[in-house]
Structure formats: C-alpha cells, structure tokens
A and B are shown apart, each in its own frame.
Chain A
Amino acid sequence: MSILRKALTTAALASVLLAGAAQAETKRIALVVKALGIGFFEAAAKGAEEAAKELGDVEIIYTGPTDTTAEGQIEVINALIAQGVDAIAISANDPDAVAPALKKAMDRGITVISWDSGVAKDGRQMHLNPSSSPLIGNMIIKLAADNLPEGGEVAVLSATSTSTNQNTWIAEMNKVMGNYPGITVVGTVYGDDLADKSYREAQGLMQTYPNLKAIIAPTSVGIVAAAQAVTDAGKAGQINVTGLGLPSEMAGHVKSGASKSFAIWNPIDLGYAAATIAYNLSNGATAEAGGTIAMGRMGDVTLDDNLEGAMADPFVYDASNVDEFASIF
C-alpha cells in the first residue's frame, strides 16, 4: 500500500469517526404524549423546544399515537428504540402496559422518564409530577387569602366526597390554615363533578353564608359552575371563585370578575422540565431516592422513595395571562 493511499485511508477513517462523534453529541430526546392533537401536549412540546434551544445540542422528537391507546404508544416506543434515541420522556396511556417496552428501551441504553401521567416504577428512571398535594393544598387557600387582606369566610366546593385527589388536597389545605389568620373555612359541599349539582351547591353556599367572601373549588367542573352561580346571583366581584380550573373554561369568568385568579399546572413548564431532566439523566445525572435533578429555570426536583418528584407550585392564572393560555387548554 502506498503512503499516499495509507494517508488517504487514515483521513477517510478519521473523518468518519469525527462525523460519528459530531452526531453523537446531539442528544435526541423523544417527547411521547398520550395522543397527538391535544392542546395540553402541544403546549408541553413548545416547552420542550424551549429547553432544547436553551441546552443547544438537543433535538426534540415530539410524537405519539393517534388514539390514546397503550398499544399505539408501544408502536411509537419500538420505533424510537429502533432509531436509538438518547432519551424518552413519556406521558403514558397505561402505567403498566407500556412498562415492558420501556424496560426494553432502558436495556438498550435509552434514558426513560415519565411525566404528567406516570409509568410503573420498574418501567422508568423517574416520574415528574406537575405538582404535589401539599403544594396544591397550600395554593388553593393562598389564592383565596391573597384577595382577602382583612380575612373572612370561605367555603369549599369539592367533587365527590370520595374523590381521593380532592380529599387529599383539602386535607393538605387544612394543615396550613394556621398560616392564613383571619380566614375561616365555614363549610365543604360536594358537587360530584356534575355541572348542575355543583351550581346548586354553590347557590346553597351563598344563601347559607351571607358573609361568604370566597368559594374554593379544587375541581375544573366545580370552579366553572360556582363562577356561573356567583355571576347569576349578581355577586361577581363580591364573592371570589378560585381553585383549580382550565384557562379555556375560566377566561370568561376572569373577565367578568367572578374569579380573580385560579391555578393549574403550566404545560409549557412541564414539557420544559421533562426535556431538561431527560437531558441531564442521559448526560450522567442519576435518579435516586432523596436525590435531586436540575430542571433549568424550574429549579431542582427532589425524588421520593418511589423515584417521583414534583415540579412546582400550580401556576396562577389571572386577567394578565388567562387569554394567552385559553387558546392552549
């Protein structure tokens, strides 16, 4: 072999190796959602793209099945494994059914996390909840208290008396009541997450407690019904309806003054945090009980024994931003 030829071969080999290295530097993170075409997830993808721009060397693959089926998600996961993506961040349609496919992904060296809707513990490295029960419990009473500097009577309009989520949040709210002196919770009623029953229960609250200053509804059905009841009674501006609701359903009530502010997770932040965590884990960070993982501008997430973590306080929506999010979800 001539020297020239040897040199050329070496150069070719080196360029191939270099090209390979350059390609390996770009992290490909797949954001797998329950189904495409859902505003909430489109917003999360926007957040993930924001993270990609910030991190620089990241390509986001936003994908998901047409229908919210586990089988459809598994086909998507298999295609992602085949492409050898660096990380998969999934909001699962079924916590158990997708676990074997995700285990296979982890066996092949892919970082796997779940966000929003979790995966069974052995099918992911960590799970990111949008918020936590203590944070939500604190937020719903804080929203009411912030608009009542002199204190006053507030009431809770919940879903059903057996709703696990709502009961946990209300229990957490009661734990922090001491931080909000002057605020008294005069009663809790149940609208069963039905619009008409929630509406009647809200009317009942206004009649029973003439000094009522706020209604806290930690349910998206209840908060809309309560706001409508307050508006219909001509008490918009006197009784503040707050709690957890969807911007698209609440925008009108915020404008009418029936609701000064309410909260729910911010899907953009959630997508941003999921992408950042996936990036950090695939770059050597480890997910272990009690440890923390950086989430860029969202701070750090602390993992519990189940390797789950909460992103942040629920995001507050008021007249200044509700319109912007109303078109998203």
Chain B
Amino acid sequence: MTPSYRVIPDRLVSPFAKALKSWESLLLIVAVAIFIANALASPYFLNAWNLSDATFNFTEKAMIAFAMAMLIIAGEIDLSVAAIIALASTMMGVAMTMGFGTPVLVLVGLGTGLACGAFNGTIVARLGLPSIVVTIGTMSLFRGISYIILGDQAFTGYPADFAWFGQGYVVWVITVELVVFAALAVAFGVLLHRTSFGRQVYVIGNNPVAAQFSGVNVARVKFILFLLTGLMAGVAAVCLTSRLGSTRPSIATGYELEVVTMVVLGGVNILGGSGTIPGVVIAAFVMGLVTFGLGLLNVPGIVMSIFIGLLLIGVIALPRLWAMRRRRA
C-alpha cells in the first residue's frame, strides 16, 4: 500500500492558466489574427522581403517604447523622445560636417540622447516636478535647438558605411535594426523582470512613498530611467538618421505619441505600477502589422489612424467591461 498524500497547492491558479488569461496572450491572439487577416487580404503580404521592409514601421519606435514602458510603470512619462531624436540627429549632422567618421557619429548620437535624458531626469527627479509638464517643455526646447541649427536646411551626405544601421542586413532579410530591436527587448526584459532594479521600478509605480520608506532611492531610480529613455532615443536617432540618410529638424515628428500608444497597447498601466516588456514587444508587432497590412491595401493613412485608435480604446476598454460584468454577475 502506498500512503495517500494530500497535495496543498502553493498557487491557487496554475501559472499556465494565469498565462492564458493574461494581457499578453490576448494581445498575441490579436497579433496572430491580424497576421492571418493580412495574409488573406493581400497576396503580397507573405513575402520575406516585404515582411522585412515592414519591420521598419515599428523597430525605431519600439526601441524607445521599452525604456518608456519602464518609465511609465514607475509613474513618470517622457514626451520629449521625438525631440531628442531630432536633436541627436542634428548633432550627428554637425559632427558629420566637421568631418568625423561613423564611430564618432554614433557616439555623438548616443551621447546627445544621454545628455537630454540626464537633463529631463535632473529636473524631474531632483526638483520633483511633474514629468508630463517638464517633458512637454523640453520637447519644444530640444527640437527648437535643432531648428535654430538647421533652419530650413538639411544635413545630407552621411558617410556610406553609416547607412549600415538603418539600411543594412545582418543575414538574408534580417535587418540590423531588427537585431538591435531584439537585443534591446531581451536586455530590457531582463532588467525589468529579473533584477532588483526592475522590482524597485514596480514598487515606485505602485507607491512611491512606501518605496521611499522601504529604502528605495526613488530619485535615483527615476533619474536612471530618464537616462535610459534618452539613450534609447539616441539609438533610435542613429537608426532613423541612417535610414533616411539625412537630417531635417522635422525628423520623427509625432513619434512620442506612437511610442506611448505602443506602450499602452502593450498592457502597461498608464497610471503606473504594472506592465511587461513582452507585452510591449507584441504591441510593437501588432502596430507594425496593422500599418503595413492596411498600407498594402492602400488604405488611406487617416483610416489607419482611426483603426489604431479604435484598437487602443478596444484593448483598454475590454478588460474594464469584463471586470464590470463579472462584478455584476
């Protein structure tokens, strides 16, 4: 006879069931549905080169979205990211006209991003001002500097090897930008979900006062998050400038809202406290697939914006409606 055991579960819901009901799986289903719909709607969709081209619709924005997701989880926001791209790109152009080569250009781009991030971070974290107000201000400031330097002119004639970042391929159809995107996704995933720094970000987003009393250096974490967001805007600036092969002060106009849309669509609570990097990765693909798929059908851009808007409201409203129904039942 074997003794009978009474199993006491250490979890009330199995991790598998929990994963099934999560935001990410809902989003993944949406992504797969859109992929299939696209493949059925257009004969040009299932083509490796076309899909490769389509990744450019989201890679640069997604790079920033990873850092932005952490910032929003911590209860802050950075609306100056598109302006940072403009300034970083302009600075790269200035360095290019001074005759510097590709390595220096990249360093200048990343350095400008870091400097802008440090500027935002100092004002928000050290002076304790609301980040939405501060970054609306720096949004005009950074792009303004870019307009002062360039006016209605453009920087063109970047070195040929500089084009590798935004126009190059690693192997076959895998673009350099896609590899950078994937590497950053893993890096940010580990940082947010596998380090104590990541836990601190969640704690701050849920209750900054409690975090402070628990010994978390709130100001320092926030400063680092702004620094990271600035750096990612710098990375995006290198990629975008390389892809366009030129700089104008109007570069990346409106990117900040698309980045925030991506983050919110990815399931990050806009009020802070929750959200995941895998969610943002899937959201990036969803947005890229939607814009490219509708583009293949030559759907006018304004209809595309309406579609993205409805998608966003839909995915935000659905869980809320679901919760309300369950409470009533």
Contact = CB atoms under 8 A, between A and B. Distances in A.
Interface stretch (A4-12, A75-83, A224-232): A75-83
B53 A96 contact: no
B245 A82 contact: no
Contact of B302 (A66, A69, A84, A99): A66
Interface stretch (B117-125, B223-231, B289-297): B289-297
Contacts of A67: 253-254, 301
B298 interface: yes
Interface in B246-263: 246, 248, 250-255
Interface in A91-150: 94-97, 99-100, 120
A94 B50 contact: no
A309 interface: no
A72 interface: yes
Nearest to A69: B253
Given A36-B300, A100-B163, A100-B244, A69 B250 contact: yes
Interface string B44-68: 1101011001101100000000000
B254 A82 contact: no
Contacts of B166: 100
Contact of B296 (A79, A95, A99): A79
A245 interface: no
B300 A63 contact: yes
Interface string A46-74: 00000000000000010111110111101
Interface in B225-283: 240, 243-246, 248, 250-255
A82 B301 contact: no
A37 B303 CA distance: 12
Contact of B301 (A72, A81, A99): A72
B292 to A, nearest CB: 6
B155 to A, nearest CB: 9
Contacts of A79: 292, 295-296, 298
A94 B298 contact: no
Nearest to B55: A78
A61 B47 contact: no
Contact of A100 (B167, B255, B300, B301): B167
Given A66-B301, A67-B253, A82 B296 contact: yes
Interface centre among B44, B246, B296 (most CB of A within 10 A): B246
Contacts of A78: 53-54, 56-57, 292, 295
A100 B166 CA distance: 10
B154 interface: yes
Contact of A96 (B57, B154, B292): B154
A8 B244 CA distance: 51
A71 B47 contact: no
A78 B50 CA distance: 8
B150 to A, nearest CB: 12
Contact of B53 (A35, A69, A81, A120): A81
A99 B163 CA distance: 12
Interface centre among A72, A79, A99 (most CB of B within 10 A): A79
Interface centre among B53, B57, B251 (most CB of A within 10 A): B53
Contacts, number: 96
Interface residues of A, number: 29
A89 to B, nearest CB: 15
Interface centre among A66, A74, A95 (most CB of B within 10 A): A66
B310 to A, nearest CB: 15
B301 A97 contact: no
A72 B252 CA distance: 10
B296 A94 contact: no
B133 to A, nearest CB: 25
A84 B246 contact: no
Nearest to B155: A96
B253 A94 contact: no
A82 B50 contact: yes
Interface in B294-329: 295-296, 298, 300-302, 304-305
B248 A97 contact: yes
B130 to A, nearest CB: 28
Contacts of B97: none
Contact of A71 (B53, B163, B252): B252
B156 interface: yes
A76 B298 CA distance: 8
B262 to A, nearest CB: 15
A82 B47 CA distance: 8
Contacts of A64: 300-301
A75 B291 contact: yes
Contact of B246 (A37, A63, A97): A97
Nearest to B240: A71
Contacts of A99: 245-246
Contacts of B240: 71
Interface string A249-285: 0000000000000000000000000000000000000
6 contacts: A72-B301, A75-B57, A76-B295, A79-B295, A82-B50, A97-B244
Given A74-B244, A79-B292, A99-B246, 13 more contacts: A36-B301, A66-B305, A70-B244, A71-B251, A74-B56, A78-B53, A81-B53, A82-B292, A94-B248, A96-B245, A96-B248, A97-B251, A100-B243
Interface of A: 35-37, 61, 63-67, 69-72, 74-76, 78-79, 81-84, 94-97, 99-100, 120
In the A-B complex, list the 9 residue pairs whose CB atoms are closest, starting with the nearest.
A79-B295, A96-B246, A66-B301, A82-B50, A97-B244, A78-B53, A96-B156, A65-B301, A100-B245
